[in-house]
Structure 1
Amino acid sequence: MAPDEPSIRILQCFCQSLRVPFWHDRGMDEFDEDLIRALQLDGRAQFSALAAELGVHRTLVAQRVRELLDSGEIRIHAAVHPSAVGLPIQANLQLRISGPTSPVFERLSTFTNVVFLSEISGQNQAVVEVWAADREDVARSVRAIQAIEGVEEMQFSLYDRVLRRLRLGEDPELTDLVFDDFDIALIAELQLDGRLTFGELARRTGCSASACRARVMRLLGSGVMRIGAVRSRRSTTSSVLSGVGVVLHADPEQAAAAEEVLLGIPTIEFAARTLGRYGLIATIAARSLADYTDIVRRIRSHPGVYRVETWVHAFVWLERYEWSLDRLARSRTV
């Protein structure tokens, strides 16, 4: 949702009086992409820090963040790493669907262990990411998805190692971590609103603000929890969310070099080594169609890459990282 014209004029005059850049001068799409990217990395970042990073006034950042939240373009929530809640197995499924697609997507949306669901372009019509407790859990999900009327074929890839996950960061060290009731209460609140103040968390949990701050910082520092923006990806935008499946050459040195090139692309939101059809799967959030084309060309041209298959996420039906309090409570001791 864009600001209305009177608001734009008022903010522009305000910026001119302070002699600071105005986001409308640099382009709305560009400003929003930079702001959302910063919030994806740190959903609790202070407006002053975001303003300094983006080179604009704090007031502009505060207003635009409120507008993005109010419009539903972004949500800011705590995400808990799947391994921390007993879901260490993750798989990527691509489905070929015959007939109407909406009933299939509506059915898939009811699966509790589906965390990402997207309607895509190309020979396949859906990308589904499943998190599971073990391989048998994955097998049950796969059989249930295959049984949905309209699902004709399935392409399966198991994540061997996640190399980058924008919403969840690096894989945490989980050996000594224990969740207690206080952790669970804080995570549950932050899954509803990741920007709750420590004072508000104190009011909701019945603990002091300093205790809430210390425990939240512990959870963030451990890598078990991360707070960031999730985009609705349903509004009209110039950005292009796409996926790539990379088949690598057998030479391990060339394959490793290709992986480094992939991770060197700043707009790669997700990348994983996989077992299945591809050696690597990645998600690219390109600024434009031209940017997307340039990135794919760069990947294809690497000598370690044998073949690249691409798809565009035309409509993201589901992207969730929130888990119920019961799920967290069952996973206190990791």
Structure 2
Amino acid sequence: MRALLPALDVQDQPLVHALQIDGRAPFSRIADVLGVSDQTVARRYTRLRTTSTLRVVGLTDPMRVGDTPWFVRVRCTPDAAGSVGEALARHPDTSWVKLTSGGTEIICNVRTRDRGESDALLLQKLPRTPRVVDVSAHSLLHVFFGQERSLVSKTGPLTPEQVAALTPADAPASRPHEPAAPYPLEARDHRLLAALTQDGRAPLGELAAATGWSQTTVRRRLAELRAAGVLYFDLDYHPRILHHGFRATLWLQVEPARLDTVGRALAEHPEVPFAAATTGATNLCASINTQNAGSFYRYLTGPVASLPGVQHASTAPTHRLLKGPGPLWPQPAAGGKP
């Protein structure tokens, strides 16, 4: 973790690992597991949050709420990729918007709620945008690693005993390979989830005010949504924190009979914060984080080359990250810092 997130103070890393395990864990429980005071934990998180270093966000599994997740690749003329990418980053249904391939291609995640909305965004609006050369969309079929799990989950400093002590009791034991039917949500659920998207650690009182429920009902509903796999908590780092090392997107064409085996193998690699099966000729997509280009080369010619059934591989190095898993970070005032 220290090598992959060098902008984080080494003393913050146990707290960051704890928050990755359970973003809503009480500071008192985190303090007890880490062997520090409640005040120390609260002070460190407040500093990380107020300096726009990281934040806890509450997110939903799109397949559990009936949304369709897509990977969208947009090729632009060199002078347009930045502005198109920033426009996509401002869209509420996008995440992980990044410029790749020297700044001429945009890769992002998009979630749509019906076929008509999908067609409007992917097939009509983007291709008609000036200086957009090509748009391709790949439907996400299955996540092998990602969402509430990250590189911190693999390389964080906490011991297995500490991880077990922090793992929430209402967390699902595992995600089903085949997505279940969409989980029924009512209007107040959507208000609850919208509030958690802005602040995953929002106090119960704020969530009660947003939903009209009592705090007891909010607490119970949070547990139900987490246990059902609808709601999970993730850490959203400011893009400047992730502009270190060498980052790339890896697209693999894998024999269908080997797709699950390869996806599960990628999920175990310490270089992989995200891996998923998709539609398209390249049917497996993974994000790769390494220390430098040399280590990325060794990863491609070693662990990736040894995967069974891989017929083709292509890579797109990340030029600039515009948006992570949560809402777009507030833009700094002119001359100011975020």
TM-score range, shorter chain: 0.7 to 0.9
State the partner residue of 2:202.
Answer: 196
SS in 1 for 2:98: strand
Q: 1:289 and 1:55 mapped to 2: Cα distance?
A: 38
Q: 1:45 and 1:146 mapped to 2: Cα distance?
A: 44
State the partner residue of 1:300.
Answer: 305
- 1:163 and 1:199, CA in 2 relative to 1: closer, same or farther beyond 3 A? same
Q: Are 1:114 and 2:119 an aligned pair?
A: no
Q: 1:27 and 1:180 mapped to 2: Cα distance?
A: 40
- 1:190 and 1:258, CA in 2 relative to 1: closer, same or farther beyond 3 A? closer
Given that residues 99 and 321 in structure 2 are in contact (C-alpha distance below 8 angstroms), is that contact kept between their aligned partners in structure 1? yes
State the partner residue of 2:222.
Answer: 216
State the partner residue of 1:231.
Answer: 237
Q: 1:112 and 1:295 mapped to 2: Cα distance?
A: 34
Q: Deviations over 1:117-160 (max 9, x none)?
A: 11123585210222123445333322211221121123432223
State the partner residue of 1:263.
Answer: 267
Q: 1:176 and 1:183 mapped to 2: Cα distance?
A: 14
Percent identity, please: 24
Q: Are 1:274 and 2:278 an aligned pair?
A: yes
SS in 2 for 1:148: coil
- 1:98 and 1:300, CA in 2 relative to 1: closer, same or farther beyond 3 A? same
Task: Decide which of 111, 114, 119 is 1:139's aligned counterpart.
Answer: 119
SS in 1 for 2:189: helix
After TM superposition, list the pairs within 5 Å mapping 1:307-322 onto structure 2: 307-320=312-325
- 1:123 and 1:112, CA in 2 relative to 1: closer, same or farther beyond 3 A? closer
SS in 1 for 2:279: strand
Cα shift at 1:281: 0.2
Q: Are 1:159 and 2:163 an aligned pair?
A: no
Cα shift at 1:85: 4.2
Given that residues 95 and 152 in structure 1 are in contact (C-alpha distance below 8 angstroms), is that contact kept between their aligned partners in structure 2? yes
Cα shift at 1:84: 4.5
Higher relative contact order (CA 8 A, sep 6+): 2
State the partner residue of 2:165.
Answer: none
SS in 2 for 1:146: coil
- 1:247 and 1:178, CA in 2 relative to 1: closer, same or farther beyond 3 A? closer
Cα shift at 1:195: 0.9
TM-score by length of 2: 0.72
Cα shift at 1:79: 1.0
Given that residues 239 and 322 in structure 2 are in contact (C-alpha distance below 8 angstroms), is that contact kept between their aligned partners in structure 1? no
State the partner residue of 2:76.
Answer: 97
Q: Deviations over 1:87-133 (max 9, x none)?
A: 2x222122222131322223333544333311123585210222123
TM-score by length of 1: 0.73
Given that residues 267 and 285 in structure 1 are in contact (C-alpha distance below 8 angstroms), is that contact kept between their aligned partners in structure 2? yes
Given that residues 144 and 263 in structure 2 are in contact (C-alpha distance below 8 angstroms), is that contact kept between their aligned partners in structure 1? no
- 1:309 and 1:97, CA in 2 relative to 1: closer, same or farther beyond 3 A? same
Cα shift at 1:224: 0.9
- 1:163 and 1:125, CA in 2 relative to 1: closer, same or farther beyond 3 A? same
TM-align CA RMSD? 3.4
Q: Give the aligned residue type for 2:106.
A: A
Q: 1:160 and 1:223 mapped to 2: Cα distance?
A: 16
Task: Decide which of 101, 108, 130 is 1:149's aligned counterpart.
Answer: 130
Q: Please, which runs of 5 or more residues in structure 2 have no aligned partner?
A: 1-5, 150-173, 328-338
SS in 1 for 2:235: strand
Task: Decide which of 32, 39, 62 is 2:42's aligned counterpart.
Answer: 62
Q: Give the aligned residue type for 1:116.
A: W
Q: 1:42 and 1:288 mapped to 2: Cα distance?
A: 30
Q: Please, which runs of 5 or more residues in structure 1 have no aligned partner?
A: 1-25, 323-334
Task: Decide which of 39, 49, 56 is 2:19's aligned counterpart.
Answer: 39
State the partner residue of 1:187.
Answer: 193
Q: 2:315 and 2:182 mapped to 1: Cα distance?
A: 40
Q: Give the aligned residue type for 2:262.
A: A
State the partner residue of 2:105.
Answer: 125
Cα shift at 1:232: 1.7
